[in-house]
Amino acid sequence: MNIGLIIAGGSGARMQQDIPKQFLTVNERPVIVYTLEAFQKHRDIDEIAVVCIEGWDQVLWAYANQFNITKLKYVVPGGKNGQDSIRNGVFELERHYSPDDLVLIHDAIRPMVSEEIISDCIETTKQYGSAISTIPCAEAMLETEDSKVSVGSYPRSRLKRTQTPQGFPLGKICDLHRRALKAGITNSIASCTLMIEMGEQVHFSAGSEKNIKLTTVDDLDIFRALLAARHSDWLK
């Protein structure tokens, strides 16, 4: 079984809006609904769970009912940071699914995730035991110690920009979080970085420049433009 675990536990402080960014409405649809629909429509995703910011769970269930997200089975409270939220999610899944089932951990605020990205994440996880959606690093990378002046550069050929989904067998990612707690690692920024901090390798799957993360108001403008371009393609 393949489960989509959507992480919607953040408050979106950098967006500087009155409501969490995953619940902002774009073209009469909440951002999180675009994300849920991508997993709902994918033929290889069996069920969905969401880690949700406190106080918004009933709103989420209402949206799932309104937009026919029938694969949504569980809503789990978010934690104090990203690692905490993901741990809450995978530990809840552990109560309902087999250790060999696959979980695809995905940011709620990446609403442009495509069928192809989800498919490649699933296949890579099946083959290698992990899958991190990535894209090449096209920009020149500079090192700095004070955010004001460079102290060196880093070869971009050795870098990957990570996205989500990030796929793992459920038993593997639950074991990782237990070992991390014992090691005192409590605030890793992503599942892939937690894997590396715990001495594990990760395998790469396909990402896309269009699979943007909505972090700032500018990102919302880009998202609207991508939606308009997608709609234009449908009309051809």
- Over residues 124-164, the pLDDT tens digits come to 999 999 999 999 999 999 999 999 999 999 999 999 999 99
Write the Ramachandran bin of 27: left for phi over 0, alpha for psi from -120 to 50, otherwise beta: left
Q: Is the pLDDT of residue 234 over 60?
A: no
- The CATH number for 2-235, chosen from 2.30.40.10, 3.40.718.10, 3.30.565.10, 3.90.550.10, is 3.90.550.10
Decide: pTM greater than 0.75: yes
Packing angle, helices 82-94 and 170-183, rounded to 10 = 130
d(CA 126, CA 44): 12
Residue 128: other Cβ atoms inside 10 A: 14
- Over residues 80-131, the pLDDT tens digits come to 999 999 999 999 999 999 999 999 999 999 999 999 999 999 999 999 999 9
The whole-chain average pLDDT of the chain stands at 94
Q: DSSP letter at 55?
A: T
- Over residues 180-202, the pLDDT tens digits come to 999 999 999 999 999 999 999 99
